[in-house]
Structure 1
Amino acid sequence: NSLSLREAFDRETLSPLTCFFIAAEGLSCLLKSSSQSSVLGGIKVAPTALAVNHLLFADDSLLFFKASVEGAEAVSNLLNSYCRASGQRVNNDKSTIFFSRGCPQTTRDSVKLAVQVHKESLSDKYLGMPTDVGHSKNGTFKYLRDHVWEKVKGWMEKLLSA
């Protein structure tokens, strides 16, 4: 006797979080299969690293794609397919888009129109980490090093005073 995903959720056999993970895995698989495309190739943190085209968090998704109308249309089509299959939908009013520094305004406007996301912003930090590191990694992550060092000093004081 197998239950459908909806029946299992209704009977509280599956938690909402488990259902989210199952749906998120579907989106992840779609994005991975599309990563062969040059427009959805993603970003690399180093020349020899694998490209990453998406990151999924509890209730948040980050998609990385080439800032072009083709890339935006590919992402839009992919998300539409996912929404039709999963019953979920993208909240464009809560969505934001971020472009690299050298991206021309005409490209920005075309991409925002294609994905129907008009809010262009990214806060200074996302999940506690800086969003724009640049070339000065020491300066950018100094607060993190200082915070860890303060914790270590506190532990050392407790151990030495005991």
Structure 2
Amino acid sequence: FVADGLAALLRKEGRNAHISPLRVCPRAPGISHLLFADDTLLFFRAIEGEAVHIKGVLDEYARATGQLINPQKCLILFGENCNQGDRDDVVRVLGVHNVSFEEKYLGLPTPNGRMSKGRFENIQEKFTKR
């Protein structure tokens, strides 16, 4: 129930064009967030203005629910085309200092550059053996 509130706030920011959701192609629907168990993945353009809106959503969520977000436990991943100035601005606004992900998340390889078929072959082999 509480996660639905966060999702609604993020959808509202997307509708108001305050954040730019991730799109896999121009006509695909945008994805601004994914919720899984106790994890939330946020997708937005890595610029200071959008980070300010994301920070506002997270602050509003914390005020409404009493659930605080610990920036020390948060991780951030930037696309390879993101310039260092934008990265620094986003990190400063959000207060997130962990600028790297684990090699795998939920058993799947974490994106690092272009994802190739080879990165998923071990997973395919494991499923085939089962």
Q: TM-score, normalised by structure 2?
A: 0.91
Larger Rg: 1
Structure 2: how far apart are the matches of 1:48 and 1:67? 21
Using a 3 Å threshold, how does the CA distance of structure 1 residues 99 and 39 change in structure 2: closer, same or farther?
farther
1:146 pairs, out of 107, 125, 128, with 125
CA drift at 1:94: 0.5
Q: Is the 8 A contact 2:79 2:113 kept in 1?
A: no
CA drift at 1:73: 0.2
Q: Alignment RMSD, CA only?
A: 1.6
CA drift at 1:80: 0.7
Q: Is the 8 A contact 1:39 1:65 kept in 2?
A: no
- Residues paired across the two proteins, number: 130
SS at match of 2:41: strand
**Higher RCO (C-alpha 8 Å, min separation 6):** 2
CA drift at 1:90: 0.6
Q: TM-score, normalised by structure 1?
A: 0.74
After superposition, residues 75-90 of structure 1 pair within 5 angstroms as 75-90=54-69
Q: Is the 8 A contact 2:21 2:43 kept in 1?
A: yes
2:11 pairs, out of 29, 32, 35, with 32
1:120 pairs, out of 71, 79, 99, with 99
Using a 3 Å threshold, how does the CA distance of structure 1 residues 34 and 136 change in structure 2: closer, same or farther?
closer
1:70 pairs, out of 35, 49, 53, with 49
Structure 2 unmatched runs, 5+:
none
Q: Is the 8 A contact 2:35 2:41 kept in 1?
A: yes
Which residue identity does 1:63 align to in structure 2?
L
Alignment of 1:106 onto 2:95: no
Structure 1 unmatched runs, 5+:
1-21, 152-162
Structure 1: how far apart are the matches of 2:38 and 2:7? 14
Sequence identity of aligned pairs in percent? 37
Which residue identity does 1:105 align to in structure 2?
Q
Which residue identity does 1:118 align to in structure 2?
H
